[in-house]
Structure 1
Amino acid sequence: MNIKRHGAALGLVAASALLLSACGSDNNAQRGDTAAANSANVDCGGKKELSAEGSSAQTNAIQEFVAEYAHICDGFNVAYNPTGSGAGVKQFIGGQVDFGGSDSPLKESEVEKAMQRCSGNPAWNLPMVFGPVAVAYNLPGMEGLVLKPDTIAKIFNGGIKKWNDPAIRELNSGANLPDKNIVVIYRSDESGTTDNFQKYLQAAAKDSWTQGVGKSFKGDTGEGKAKSQGVTDGVKATEGAITYVEKSFADAANLGIAKIDSGAGPVELTDEAAGKAIAAAKIKGSGHDLVLDLNALYASKEPGAYPLVLVTYELVCSKGYDAETSKAVKAFLTTAATSGQDNLTKVGYVPLPQEFRTKLLDAIKAIA
């Protein structure tokens, strides 16, 4: 077993891809012996540079994973292209990347194609990143905005058009809400974030959101922007705008983040509130295919829980890789599921609950 724990500079190269780079020796020095001590035994080796593509929602988490992987496995990299979940699924199924990233599990229509890509073996959905989704807005002077699921649904399908609409005023007594148009900014590209957001609205506000779900936005209102960074930039540049985006992006842009009142009082988006909701999520997949059942989570009215979260899956072959690729994929995913989780809070994600880490490691070990 070739287990390495040396510092390493991180360089990611992907043609026409966003370069995700971590600092070299300084970054590894910060990680130090603590991260190495907290990591599982990682069997480094195999393919020197893995390729992956998909969800932009997990970009910052992947950057942390890759930095830790380079720290533990000297000389090994992952080139990750954050082109969105739809592209990630297509590239994985097409055999163009070693693994894909998606904010939604493979659909039934994609399962057979993925099996063909994996030489007749099942592909697995492995939940690696939990990210709270913020309802982020740009409304100067308005802090602590409170919205209910029904109100959010009506904003994003055009049913509520003004910031001083009675439904919003009722939830924000005493607030100085302007007589200003609400500008909805949505993801123009296929996105698992969109899919999860619409699934949340369908579960939590079924009477108000009748547009359906899917990776394409169905609200029929607003302006489309590409990728998570695109919608964030759009809101930041537009007074009166609102969007749905991962917390890490909203935090980085210093946007307002709405509190959600699911029926038991307003809940601020915090790690604790999101973690409370995540702890209730159940696995509905079989064996090592760890697909989560989020419908009950989205409709939850549990006090103190923030239910609007997405899960990013890494799409992998259970079997069918060549030996070099299999070894490297397992080493990277083991790192991501263990010490790679240590720094996720600072970039806007919620570290995996321990029970998920155990199940993930069992699945990763089973990859052949």
Structure 2
Amino acid sequence: MKLQRHGAIAALAITATLAMAACGSDNTGSGDSKAAAKAPSTDCAKGSLTSQGSTAQKNAMDQWIKAYQQKCSGAQITYDGTGSGAGVQAFTSGTADFAGSDSALKDGAEQTGADKRCKGGEALDLPMVTGPIAVVYNIGDVKGLQFKPATLAKIFAGKIKTWNDPAIKADNPSAKLPSTPIQPVHRADASGTSDNFTKYLSKTAAADWTYDHAKEWKAPGGVAAKGSDGVSAKVKSTAGTIAYDEWSYATTNGLNMAKIYNGAGAYTELTAEAAGKTVDGAKVVGQGDNLKLDIDYNTKVAGAYPIVLVTYEIACSKGNAADKLPLLKSFLTYVSSDDGQAALTSQGYAPLPKSVQTKVQAAVKGLA
């Protein structure tokens, strides 16, 4: 199915509110009253939930938790931004009541292992927020760079070593590029952001990116940094760096963001509307309430920004602990509600398309 999205409306909302975003570290999302999420309209539940995973959604999760707990005083919810890989492991081992991941569970061992946690059910991938991935860089006064997929693949594979390489010059004929060595920055932890970025490279520049895609960084060389905040800090403080980072972190930290060449044949700036055009072409490929999405990184839609990720909450369809289930359903009902999704715009994310939001709400209602 094609996703329905009101990209222009989301773009206006995000543009109007990005300046107030209080994100960029694991602690900032809960402290800005001006960016406070609307109080949840769902019924409250008592108890406690422990969760962890994706750092890309940490700022959104902090905002959601703050809003929910302000209304529902009998609830205690924690979310640690440990990375998507660690989140999936914690969920599978039973130490997290739900997990956040920037990638859906992989068919095979990962899905099977998570399913075993869910007695009588399966582990569901529930998309909650779209988060564009920015290509960020720091080479002094040089700004306005743009890249084709093959150039990015060569940079992150270690084949292009200096900023004045002919391939970068070809993408940026008017830029004054120095001979400074390039320092590609990648995630040190298992990350869904890495998985999505390398999936993009695999789909758009297979001849130059031979490492397939994975949550663990596979290419040699480069500099590793932990978490989205670690990547942002490294690029901001170190000349010669280039990295992939979530849009919310890149914006909050004032990083230079590159235009990316898309399947329509144009270098495209990262905006909410441009990212929304790519999400419009995604398809639901999971079965039943398992709402895995397949993103077309080669989209030929004019004006589409092609590097996007969708953050999922991973939860059991059945087999949830009886003392956890009421709060799990109540909280995820709020997260997927109009109020919860509207709160994302102040954090530099984009809400779910309505058609997917409706399916997520139905899946949450059926948790047992």
TM-score w.r.t. length of structure 1: 0.88
Give unpaired runs (5+ residues) of structure 1.
1-17
> 2:27, 2:135 → 1: CA distance?
28
CA deviation string 1:295-324 (max 9, x = no partner): xx1122321001101111111010111333
Contact 1:186 1:224 in 2 (8 A): yes
- Secondary structure of the structure 1 residue equivalent to 2:112: helix
Which residue number in structure 2 is paired with residue 12 of structure 1? none
> 1:155, 1:87 → 2: CA distance?
27
CA deviation string 1:121-180 (max 9, x = no partner): 211010112100011111222222110111110110012111111111122222111111
Q: Which amino acid aligns with 1:22?
A: S
1:12-91 superposed matches below 5 A? 22-23=30-31, 26=33, 31=37, 35-36=38-39, 41-47=41-47, 49-91=48-90
- Secondary structure of the structure 1 residue equivalent to 2:323: helix
Give the deviation of 1:75 after TM superposition.
3.6
Which residue number in structure 2 is paired with residue 135 of structure 1? 135
Which residue number in structure 2 is paired with residue 181 of structure 1? 181
Over 3 Å counting, the alpha-carbon distance change for 1:231 and 1:23 in structure 2 is: closer
Contact 2:124 2:290 in 1 (8 A): yes
1:2-13 superposed matches below 5 A? none
Give the deviation of 1:20 after TM superposition.
7.1
Q: Which amino acid aligns with 1:112?
A: T
Farther off after superposition, 155-164 or 73-82: 73-82
Give the deviation of 1:27 after TM superposition.
5.5
> 1:215, 1:189 → 2: CA distance?
8
> 1:276, 1:58 → 2: CA distance?
21
Contact 2:202 2:210 in 1 (8 A): yes
Q: Which amino acid aligns with 1:137?
A: Y
Which residue number in structure 1 is paired with residue 276 of structure 2? 275
Equivalent pairs counted in the alignment come to 340
Which residue number in structure 2 is paired with residue 99 of structure 1? 98
Q: Which amino acid aligns with 1:182?
A: I
- Secondary structure of the structure 2 residue equivalent to 1:306: coil
Give the deviation of 1:260 after TM superposition.
0.3
- Secondary structure of the structure 2 residue equivalent to 1:216: coil
Q: Which amino acid aligns with 2:232?
A: T
> 1:272, 1:346 → 2: CA distance?
16
Which residue number in structure 1 is paired with residue 286 of structure 2? 285
Give unpaired runs (5+ residues) of structure 2.
1-25
Which residue number in structure 2 is paired with residue 226 of structure 1? 226
1:88-167 superposed matches below 5 A? 88-107=87-106, 108-167=108-167
Give the deviation of 1:192 after TM superposition.
0.9
> 2:353, 2:229 → 1: CA distance?
27
CA deviation string 1:76-106 (max 9, x = no partner): 2320011111110111011111101111112
Contact 1:139 1:256 in 2 (8 A): no
Which residue number in structure 1 is paired with residue 12 of structure 2? none
Which residue number in structure 1 is paired with residue 238 of structure 2? 238
CA deviation string 1:317-346 (max 9, x = no partner): 101113331111111111111212213223
- Secondary structure of the structure 2 residue equivalent to 1:169: helix
Which residue number in structure 1 is paired with residue 335 of structure 2? 336
| Aligned sequence identity (%) | 45
Answering whether residue 243 of structure 2 is matched by residue 251 of structure 1, we say no
Answering whether residue 172 of structure 2 is matched by residue 172 of structure 1, we say yes
Q: Which amino acid aligns with 1:328?
A: L
> 1:174, 1:228 → 2: CA distance?
31
- Secondary structure of the structure 1 residue equivalent to 2:364: helix
> 1:21, 1:274 → 2: CA distance?
23
* 4+ aligned runs moved over 4 Å, structure 1: 18-21
> 2:343, 2:188 → 1: CA distance?
30
Q: Which amino acid aligns with 1:120?
A: G
- Secondary structure of the structure 1 residue equivalent to 2:218: coil
Which residue number in structure 2 is paired with residue 200 of structure 1? 200
Contact 2:289 2:363 in 1 (8 A): yes
> 2:94, 2:181 → 1: CA distance?
45
Contact 1:54 1:82 in 2 (8 A): yes
> 1:345, 1:240 → 2: CA distance?
31
Answering whether residue 324 of structure 2 is matched by residue 325 of structure 1, we say yes
Give the deviation of 1:265 after TM superposition.
1.1
Give the deviation of 1:46 after TM superposition.
3.8
Contact 2:46 2:72 in 1 (8 A): no
Q: Which amino acid aligns with 2:293?
A: L
Q: Which amino acid aligns with 1:104?
A: S
Give the deviation of 1:70 after TM superposition.
2.1
Contact 2:29 2:59 in 1 (8 A): no
Q: Which amino acid aligns with 2:30?
A: A
Q: Which amino acid aligns with 2:171?
A: L
Which residue number in structure 1 is paired with residue 8 of structure 2? none
Over 3 Å counting, the alpha-carbon distance change for 1:260 and 1:313 in structure 2 is: same
Give the deviation of 1:66 after TM superposition.
1.1
> 1:162, 1:261 → 2: CA distance?
21
> 1:249, 1:161 → 2: CA distance?
26
Give the deviation of 1:19 after TM superposition.
5.8
Contact 1:65 1:341 in 2 (8 A): no
TM-score w.r.t. length of structure 2: 0.88
Which residue number in structure 2 is paired with residue 315 of structure 1? 314
> Relative contact order (C-alpha < 8 Å, sep 6+): which is higher?
2
